[in-house]
Each structure stands twice: as structure tokens, then as C-alpha cells.
A and B are shown apart, each in its own frame.
Chain A
């Protein structure tokens, strides 16, 4: 196991060279070429990796709030304090169940470093820690440490804790007191219901890499398995050839292991049922063995449905396990929302999103217009200005691309719209069309000083093949102007299934060639969940060329609002 090398490299800093937007654009081009070829770039990946992903929270970095800290008796509820500061980076904390089952560890409170609370369910160990660091002058510190169970170091297990970092981040709570949490799967060292835990800090470093000279000594605690965690294994349930070999549910996770040996490729979907058919939650599509989040309170049944991957209309078999209850406070929507951030099937999530009917509205700082209006995009303006080769004719600081959507048409399918399969981008076509409509728009694009990317590499054949090339042609991507948006907080990168100007046969379905000053009329088509089509609760996002400073890399869109449609 590599440890010090990776930690030291991760923490060390060097004076970095400037990395320009033009370099980034060029490298992105190369990467797109490679990754498109390999995986249908831009799709929601349908691989059922979901294991850890189901547990990984979307943790948004949050600035520490000293006012908040001063008002929190942190030693009484460290997890609550960390939660308020968006500092819980393990999925076992997602719905609050572990927090409820944590018990205080008996320690002397004036120790420089101590273990404060513990949770252990036989697999997952979660502890809170507190350190007094009078030298620290930052709001967070990174603690490197060694963890031992009965004197033995457990191996690193990524699941079910949803990721592993070799350090723990401690947050300033009061004066020189910092608190944090450590979560590990320690099942590999098979501790009994009681064991000795030792955490030995080896260093504390500020975010800029400065190490503190005073490192508190180790903290030890006797950990007892939580009796009220109510871990209940279920084994050997068999239905229609599907065997649930194990269902293990704890406040930290739900583990499902199934066996299904019929030939073919299958998708496994876990659903939870409160018994009243009100909180029926489709958690997600995963593998035969999978970790999910803790069951929500009120769960009565857990069902595993097995579908043929090519036909999601009816399961080929299913098995249901009756459970006594769930743990987490998360309601059906919350559990669903957490689960959908994992790698699920694009089609399933879209239908589910639309069915939930959560209003799809522009984010702060973004605007929306109606069909027929023109949106200004500067997506290619900056690139053009950074390029110098043959660029004199389009070094226009006011360069923009104008996009106008209009003439919405709704069809049952692309076939119904008279579009051949050969003209479609197959990765954007849902497996089951029954809950979708195919919606097309006329898109008028005018480039005003923005031809797109011009270079001598792999795009050159496309540029040369453009019959209207007046010597200024470059390549643009229709994707920049055609995002199907069913949730604005997180864009799934849904593929556009149809683009009338597609350049399949060259390098990319979504490319189109354009002169610096040019005009294009295209048709784009989206497969949109019927529920969204009928409610009008969806948007088309057009990238306006800016990035939202509140997110590391969130494109800013201008949206088209879509009117409801009923047949």
C-alpha cells in the first residue's frame, strides 16, 4: 500500500505555470476525440458501477462560518456541527441514521486529541474526533493519522463508506479546537462486538501545506457495537430463480447480494415500499452485489427486480424481503435524490425526474426566454480571440453566436417523425420509448465572428469538406446550444438523439462546420419524458459562454422555456 509518497505529493505545492484557456480548449479537443470514440462521450454512463457512487454525497465545499461555530456546543453534537458546515464526506452520514446511533466515548475532555463519539455496526466504524491545535491559524487542517483495531491496521475498503482519503479534515469549532470524523469499513479485521481503537495523528497541515510543529499524541477508546443498530441479515430468499443471498441493513448502509444465473444481460433494480404504496422508491440500477444508503424509516419491503437490459417494461423476476423498519430520516424523495446522483440508467432517471415534477427553473444569475426569441452565446468568442493562426478576420471582441429555437413538434418516436435510424445518435435513444415523446425544434444559428475551432489537426477534413467554406470555416458543436434540462442544479449531460446537421462519418455526430459569419438552419430532436412534455416542466439550455463562479465548472445557460403539450 502506498502511503507517504501519495500524501506528500498531494500536500506539496509548486509554482505553477500559467495554463491558458486556449491550451485547455486544445486539450479538450484531443480528449473529446479519444473519449467519444471509447464511450459515447456526453452520455450518462449506463454502466452499473453504482456501488460506491450510491453512497457518495454531493459535498459542496462550504466556507466555514465562525458565527455559526460560536453558537454550537460542538462537543455535544460534532456530527451536527459538521453537517451544518457541509463537512461530512462519507455517504454513511447521508440521511442522519448514523448520527442518531452514535454514542459518546468516555474521555478526559482536556486531552489535546480525543475520540468523542462512536458508531459501529459490525462493518462500518464512524468516530468523531477533536483536537486542540493552538498553532493553527486556518479554519481547517488536514490530519494524517494511523488507525489500529486491537493493534492491527485494517486494509482500506472503499465500500460501503463511499470513498477513502488518507487524511481527515478537521474544522475549527471554537478557538483552537478542531473537530472532524473518521469513517472506515473495518470488517476485514473482524473485530468482536468490543474492541480497542487507537488513532494516532502523524501530522497536521494547513490547506497551504504548512505543517504544525506540535502533534498531539494518540487517542484510544473502547468501542462497543451499537445494539440499537439492529443489523439484520436476511439470507437465502428465492423467487423465480432469483436468490437474495444476503440483505444486510444498518443505519450506515444497505447491502444486497443476489444471484441470478439465466443467460443474458440484466439490470437489477432495488425498490423500497412503505406498504402503503406511497413511498415506493426506485433506488437505482446496479449490479448483483451492491451497497445502497440506509433504508428510510417506514420501509416495510425491499424488492429486487431483475430486468433484461434491452427491455425495461416488465421484470423477468423479482424477490421481496420484509424488513422491520428503516433507519434514516430521509423520506422517499430524499432517498431518491441521493440515489439518483449515482450512476444509473439515463432513461430511468429522466422518467423518474419528470414524474416527480420538481419545478425546473433557471439557477440564480441565469435567465430564460420563450421559443422564437434569440439567445446570444459567446461560447466560441474567447477561443477565437486566443487563437492567433489565420485569425485576423475573426479577432472580433464582440463576436457572438445567435441561436433561435422555434417550431416545436411532438412525435411518438423519431420513426414517427420520419427520421431514419441511421441519422440518429443511438446513445441518446432511450431503451424503452413508451414513456417518452420525441420533440423536435427548428434551430436557426448565426455566427457573427465565431466560426468555432480552427486547426490543422483532426478537424481539418471536416473544415475542408464544408462546401460553403469561404476560407474562415471552423468547427462548432451543436451540444453547446442544445442541452435537455430536467434539473438545473446538476446537468446530466444527456445526449441529443437527433441533429439534422450531424457529421457522422467524420469525427463527431455533433459537429457542424461554420464560417466566421454564417447562417445555419438545423433541426434538433430530444427524447423527453412524456410527463415533462405534458407539463412543460423542462428547459433547453444554451451555453452562454460563461462559467458560474459559485461552482467550479458549471456552465451558465440561457434557457428556453417550453410550453405544455397535450395530444
Chain B
């Protein structure tokens, strides 16, 4: 099913449209959310629901948008936002891993960084900050060494002045 057809189904028949969206993208949304909230399964499931609810709410606005990408960014932002709240409310210690999650650039800044990167480095950047893969995972997936991945990521980090991602849902600008 193509995104266009999915969006139309969401508009016409939200029940089946949502089910189709879950079929198509449930796995990747869960993956992104769980990488942030692996210690908080109940919150993770709520965030997955929230991401798809946002898709449903935005079903008319997203015509022509890349739904998978939109959901990934929305899921990441929703999960990271929840993590920040959990850290604040529960006095949970911030681990190095969590700090990395929270250090992703804002959307506009990410766009600028991507402009400076080669296509190969763009994928590394996206895997790191949007799919929230570990350096070891990226290295394994792309057949590179961890130090190579870190080196490539550091080029983009120079531009990373803001350390917390934006709050709320992301937007897709046609």
C-alpha cells in the first residue's frame, strides 16, 4: 500500500486506515519508541498509540507527505519528550545512553547539517538521531568500524549547539 492510498484510507475509513498504518509502520514506530523507553514499557506503548493518533489527526494535512518518515520523527519526538518527563518526575538518573537520546538536533538544524553531509553520512546521521541506533549497530549495519562512524558523526556535531529536541509533535512542511 502506498502512502497516498494509506492517507486516503485514513480519511475515508479511520478504522481500517489506522489498522493499515499499524500493519505498515507499527514495527518501525515501536522500534524507535522502544529504543528511547526500553525501561518504561507502559509509557512506550502509550507513545506508540500517541504517534498513530497524531497520524490520524493529521491525516488531511499530510497528503503527499512521506508517512513513514513523518511517523518516525513523530515517534522519536514523542518518546524523547516522555523520557524527559519521566526523568523530571521520577528522579531517574540520566544515563549516558539517555543523554545521547536527548542530544539530537532540532529539525531545522538537522536539515542544515544534512546539507553539509554526503549521502552516506546522511544515513549515518539519520540512523543515529532518528532511528536512535547505537554506534555499534550503525557500524554493523553499514559494514564500517565504530571509530569511523564516530568520526563521521563528529563532523556534524560541530553544529549541534542545542542539546534538547523540540517539544511536541513534528510538522511536515510541503
A-to-B contact residues, CB < 8 Å: 1-10, 12, 14-19, 23-24, 26-28, 30-32, 34-35, 39, 41-42, 44-45, 47, 49, 52-53, 56, 58-61, 89, 156, 158, 162-166, 203, 209, 211, 341, 343, 479, 491-493, 552-553, 555
Contact = CB atoms under 8 A, between A and B. Distances in A.
Contacts of A24: 19, 22-23, 26
Given A2-B107, A89-B2, A158 B60 contact: no
Contact of A9 (B8, B52, B56, B130): B130
28 contacts: A4-B115, A6-B66, A9-B68, A9-B69, A10-B66, A12-B126, A14-B131, A23-B48, A24-B19, A28-B19, A35-B56, A45-B14, A52-B64, A53-B11, A59-B5, A61-B2, A89-B4, A156-B174, A158-B63, A158-B64, A164-B63, A165-B4, A165-B64, A341-B8, A492-B13, A493-B12, A493-B14, A555-B16
B137 to A, nearest CB: 7
Contact of B137 (A8, A15, A89): A15
Interface string B29-61: 011001000000000011011001100100010
Contacts of B34: 17
Contact of B111 (A4, A23, A164, A203): A4
Given A53-B11, A89-B2, A162-B4, 11 more contacts: A2-B111, A5-B107, A24-B23, A42-B13, A42-B15, A52-B63, A61-B1, A165-B66, A166-B66, A493-B14, A555-B16
Contact of A552 (B24, B53, B114): B24
Nearest to B28: A16
B12 A45 contact: yes
B26 A10 contact: no
Interface in B131-158: 131, 133, 137, 141
Nearest to A479: B15
A154 B73 CA distance: 26
B13 A491 contact: yes
Contacts of A203: 119
Contacts of B126: 5, 8-9, 12
B123 interface: yes
- A31, A52, A162: which has the most chain B beta carbons within 10 Å? A31
Sorted nearest first, the 9 A-B pairs with minimum C-beta distance are A164-B64, A493-B13, A552-B1, A9-B69, A16-B27, A10-B66, A10-B69, A553-B20, A19-B26
B77 interface: no
B65 to A, nearest CB: 8
A44 B10 CA distance: 10
A163 B27 contact: no
A556 B130 CA distance: 36
Nearest to A90: B4
A44 B114 contact: no
Nearest to A5: B111
B72 interface: yes
B160 interface: no
B23 A31 contact: no
Contacts of B70: 6
A209 B126 CA distance: 13
Contacts of A555: 16
B5 A8 contact: no
Given A39-B14, A158-B174, A164-B174, A8 B30 contact: no
A12 B127 contact: yes
B18 interface: yes
Contact of B31 (A2, A14, A32, A552): A14
A32 B133 CA distance: 31
Given A2-B111, A15-B141, A23-B26, A553 B12 contact: no
A17 B75 CA distance: 14
B73 A553 contact: no
B64 A4 contact: no
B174 A31 contact: no
Contacts of B19: 24, 28, 553
Nearest to A144: B119
B72 to A, nearest CB: 6
B48 A27 contact: yes
B96 interface: no
A59 B26 contact: no
Nearest to A91: B4
Interface in B95-119: 107, 110-111, 114-115, 119
